[in-house]
């Protein structure tokens, strides 16, 4: 993959994609009739939420793989998805109140979806805290994997919250039945922005996994050096 799609090219594609997404958000997508310009937060808020959910799904996969095979690569994969997913989930938590204030007249309300998204953010925090504060690396990886597996239950519940409970949203904007939906130009802006976020996520994951592999190699060499010195 490095030869076919080197990191430098990946970075350039990501930057161009983000610039194109910004153009579509602010200049191409039409102004929403009810909320006006504030609705443009939607194009950042929703793709960030989708990306955060995908990140937690990757944490789940990496955690299952680590507990099954005890391979460091699976642990690195889950850890990287957690660190990067935390950024996107934080973006959701920040943009949510910015959108809620003009839309509902309040910065925060304990709406089912908002609450479950906040729980998802706390799960990211819990995972990363376990990696940071548990002294034994092997033990921290196991504990974090358990959080990654059981915490994934929140993701489908969060996604289905609007359909299962009465929330501040009268119905889903996307795939919500009759009366829901987006203008075609809004769809273009939304999907292009999500694609840009996924491309950014993939680039950051590549960089994290490369650094994690280098760190493990440095640790291995230090241990070999210490062993040789003791001998």
Please identify which residue in the block is written with the tokens 């109140």: 97
Task: Please give the residue range of the domain that contains residue 114.
Answer: 43-169+184-216
Contacts of 100 (CB under 8 A, 6+ apart): 106, 107, 108, 109, 114, 168
Q: Is residue 94 situated within a structural domain?
A: yes
How does pLDDT run across 117-155, given as a tens digit for each residue?
Answer: 889 999 999 999 988 876 777 788 899 999 999 999 888
Q: Is residue 49 situated within a structural domain?
A: yes
Mean pLDDT, residues 46-63 taken together: 95
Q: Is residue 5 situated within a structural domain?
A: no
Tokens describing residue 66: 């680590």
Q: Is residue 64 situated within a structural domain?
A: yes
Q: Is residue 163 situated within a structural domain?
A: yes
Q: Is the pTM of this model over 0.75?
A: yes
Nearest to 80 by CA among 201, 194, 196: 201
Total domains present in the chain: 1
Lowest mean pLDDT among 27-41, 86-100, 183-197, 199-213: 27-41
Highest mean pLDDT among 168-172, 196-200, 215-219: 196-200
Q: Is residue 159 situated within a structural domain?
A: yes
Q: Is residue 227 situated within a structural domain?
A: no
Q: Is residue 107 situated within a structural domain?
A: yes
Does 176 score more than 60 pLDDT? no
């Amino acid at each position: 993959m490095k030869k076919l799609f080197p990191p430098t090219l990946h970075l350039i594609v990501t930057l161009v994609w983000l610039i194109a997404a910004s153009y579509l958000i602010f200049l191409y997508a039409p102004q929403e009739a009810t909320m006006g310009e504030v609705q443009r937060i939607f194009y950042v808020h929703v793709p960030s939420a989708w990306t955060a959910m995908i990140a937690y799904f990757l944490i789940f996969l990496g955690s299952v793989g680590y507990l099954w095979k005890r391979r460091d690569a699976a642990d690195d994969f889950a850890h990287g998805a957690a660190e990067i997913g935390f950024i996107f989930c934080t973006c959701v938590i920040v943009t949510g109140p910015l959108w809620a204030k003009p839309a509902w007249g309040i910065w925060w309300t304990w709406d089912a979806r908002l609450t479950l998204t906040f729980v998802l953010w706390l799960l990211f925090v819990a995972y990363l805290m376990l990696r940071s504060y548990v002294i034994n690396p092997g033990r921290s990886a196991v504990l974090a994997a358990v959080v990654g597996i059981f915490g994934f239950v929140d993701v489908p519940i969060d996604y289905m919250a609007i359909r299962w409970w009465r929330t501040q949203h009268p119905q889903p904007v996307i795939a919500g039945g009759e009366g829901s939906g987006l203008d075609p130009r809004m769809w273009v802006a939304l999907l292009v922005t999500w694609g840009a976020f996924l491309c950014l996520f993939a680039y950051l994951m590549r960089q994290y996994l490369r650094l994690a592999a280098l760190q493990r190699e440095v640790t291995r060499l230090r241990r070999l050096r210490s062993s040789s010195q003791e001998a």
